[in-house]
Amino acid sequence: MAQVSGKKVAILATNGFEQSELEVPRDRLREAGADVTIVSLKAGEIRGWDHTDWGRPVGVDKTLDEVKPEEFDALVLPGGQINPDLLRVEPKAVGFVKTFFDSGKPLAAVCHGPWLLVEAGVARGLTMTSYRSIKTDVKNAGAQWVDKEVVVDQGVITSRNPGDLEAFSAKIVEELKEGRHTHRKAA
């Protein structure tokens, strides 16, 4: 995998993230040399959801109150049903996503993670994918939904499910390596 030493990546999550959708990108990004920070609403630990039951806890590195979008080179939004649903009703989380989108830096969302892009009002005009159950939400937000393993549009990287995680993670590393900074269309 390409090296992205010195690049800082935030993973925004809370309780109920799909275990693999946080851990696989985190691990692949770290293997590629990125400095990965787990950001959440509160300090301590957040607990994942692993297929059909609660999974392993993951330590929170920083709270949303302790970080600013400009401190990071990329943002990753894991899915799971619970995690993005809890985050999309938190104004600080939605604001963080919106500000990050406006920065033009790589922004990646997998599975139900695109719910945060919808809530932040940034999906309009993008070609995206997501977990199939939120396809209508994504389309209603003005995005073109496609059924592909990984989609990149204006630096926004989306994937459908845990089966896509290797391609999703590789695409995040690629976008970071290229140092892409996109002037995105106003939502």
Q: Give me the domains of the chain, ranges plus CATH numbers.
A: 8-178 (3.40.50.880)
State the 10-residue block means of pLDDT for the chain, 187 residues long.
86 98 98 97 97 95 97 97 97 97 96 98 98 98 98 97 98 89 58
Q: Is 181 a catalytic residue?
A: no
Q: What is the pLDDT of residue 185?
A: 54
Q: What is the pLDDT of residue 184?
A: 55
Q: What is the pLDDT of residue 97?
A: 98
3-state secondary structure of 75: strand
How far apart are the C-alpha atoms of 36 and 28, rounded to whole Å? 10
Q: What is the pLDDT of residue 178?
A: 84
Q: What is the pLDDT of residue 179?
A: 77
Q: What is the pLDDT of residue 51?
A: 87
User: Catalytic: which of 51, 112, 181, 183?
Assistant: 112
- What sign results for the dihedral spanned by CA atoms 130, 136, 139, 145? positive
| SS3 letters across 122-182 | CCCCCEECCCHHHHHHHHHCCCEECCCCEEEECCEEEECCHHHHHHHHHHHHHHHHHCCCC
